[in-house]
Amino acid sequence: MSFNICCVGAGYVGGPTMAVIADFYPEILVNVVDINEERINSWNHKDLSKLPVFEPGLEDIIKRARNKNLFFSTDIKSGIKNADMVFISVNTPIKKSGVGAGQASDLRWVESCARQIRDFSQGHTIVVEKSTLPVRTAETIKSILEFSDNKKDDISIAKTYSVLSNPEFLAEGTAIEDLKNPDRILIGGEDEKSISILVDIYSKWVPKSKILCTNLWSSELSKLMANAFLAQRISSINTVSAICESTGANVAEVSKAIGMDSRIGDKFLNAGPGFGGSCFKKDILNIVYLSRYYGLGEVADFWESVIKINGWQRNRIYKIIVEKLYGNLATKKIAILGFAFKANTNDTRESPAINICNNLLKEGAFLSIHDPKVEPNSILKCFKGLIGEDYSQNNIKIEARIIDTVLNADAILILTDWEEYKNLDFQELSKKMRKPAWLFDTRGIVNVDEIKKTDLKFWKIGYGN
């Protein structure tokens, strides 16, 4: 193998991204390393259904590349030492305390990763920021790398570095497809030679016209802004859903009409319970923090409103449920369909389901929860530290079958847009429920004509009547 890549961080980004690189480029050796032993063991699990990340198409790639030119390990030192290029793909959550708490990124994992690279690397190493980072983080990384000790005995060649930014735009649930056919690959940096090495890797399967090279700071900022623009569209359409419900318009029709304008486009116009996932909120908060730091208060307020609307939409939905169920959820059972933050992923980070379910628990409801991919323990963990935690022990049951989930329930609440929820036999399900029974469709996925054939009362997001 002539070229050696190490990726630090075997998460939702590191694992799938490196798997695709290894698959398209068998001549490159790819080592994915992580401090989390359990995660690495899962990546190495013989049973591919036990991989730590569920993504359509991922298992096939892992089957082809693992232990050929793709390796998962906790041996961070060797991984970095042998690498020509190190990807930093670690988590970058929001700071919980101290300066910038609640808005700024917590860079402790990025910093520790930079120190590992400084301590373990040999010769020239291209360091690639794959994590989503605040603008000018490359400066922090460079300043840590500057202090490499070139005098240690075991160093035969002097350590040198060049730092590139190469943010990831994959979305969970479609990660493999996004990685195989990206809209663009963005590379920010100054060192032409390193840039061209990274361009060559992607060129193996991405047309050169889709590979965009910019300066470091534009690259870092573009990643944050792309997420902010996407999230802004969701908040916008969610405000429209409320107007539709008040006026008798239908948000699905309005979305279609708006989206057919080629200047607007039809993507990311589905109203729902608000955006979830680990990144939209944190990346916008980062922009808010950055804007305030540079004295751009109005800019910060503009982006902050996207997050405010997101929280408002969740609360609005929860209040509608309480109101429709006569203002009382005590002694009522609500069947929750879907807990992942979107379909085709087992990820629950920032899922709208967490907040909505917690509020329902606080009202005294009993929740039976179904999700096709999220592990029961992962669902229960989401209630840790929340006000509903005390109740969650006795008032939550995780079910494997939809029919058991709805048994004697007073309402069905669809929270994730899983394909299998779109064409359920609601006539049959309704028979198992306590009457009067409700269906709340926060994803706008059920067929209203079919529901009208049942004795279910129903509410669908943005469906005014």
What is the edge-to-edge ordering of all strands in the sheet holding 366-370? 396-398, 366-370, 333-337, 411-414, 438-441, 457-460
Closest CA to 371 of 410, 419, 432: 419
Of residues 366 and 418, the one with the C-beta less far from ligand UGA? 418
How many helices (H) and strands (E) in the chain? 18, 14
Applying CB under 6 A, among 18, 128, 211, 279 the residue interacting with ligand UGA is: 279
Q: How far is the CB of 239 from ligand UGA (least distance, A)?
A: 13
* CA–CA dist 394, 169 (Å, integer): 40
Applying CB under 6 A, among 72, 84, 87, 89 the residue interacting with ligand NAD is: 89
Q: Facing residues of 142 across strands?
A: none
34 binds ligand NAD, rule: CB under 6 A = yes
* CA–CA dist 110, 463 (Å, integer): 45
Of residues 15 and 276, the one with the C-beta less far from ligand UGA? 276
Is residue 279 part of the annotated active site? The answer reads yes
Applying CB under 6 A, among 4, 44, 73, 112 the residue interacting with ligand NAD is: 112
Specify the stretch interacting with ligand UGA by CB under 6 A; choose among 165-173, 308-316, 446-454, 457-465. 165-173
* CA–CA dist 111, 135 (Å, integer): 15
270-299 residues in contact with ligand NAD (CB under 6 A) are 278-279
Catalytic residue among 6, 7, 279, 382: 279
Q: Facing residues of 368 across strands?
A: 335, 397
* CA–CA dist 303, 287 (Å, integer): 8
How would you class 413 by CB atoms within 10 Å of its CB: exposed for 0-12, middle for 13-18, buried for 19 or more?
A: buried
Q: How far is the CB of 83 from ligand UGA (least distance, A)?
A: 24
Applying CB under 6 A, among 25, 43, 109, 339 the residue interacting with ligand NAD is: 109
176-196: string of b/e by CB count within 10 Å (b at 16+)?
A: bebbeebeebbbbbeeeebbe
76 binds, among ligand UGA, ligand NAD, none (CB under 5 to 8 A by kind): ligand NAD
Binding site for ligand UGA (CB under 6 A): 132, 168-172, 227, 230, 234, 268-270, 272, 275-277, 279-280, 341-342
Binding site for ligand NAD (CB under 6 A): 8-14, 33-36, 39, 76, 89-92, 109, 112-113, 116, 131-132, 168, 170, 172, 278-279
Which residues are tagged catalytic? 279
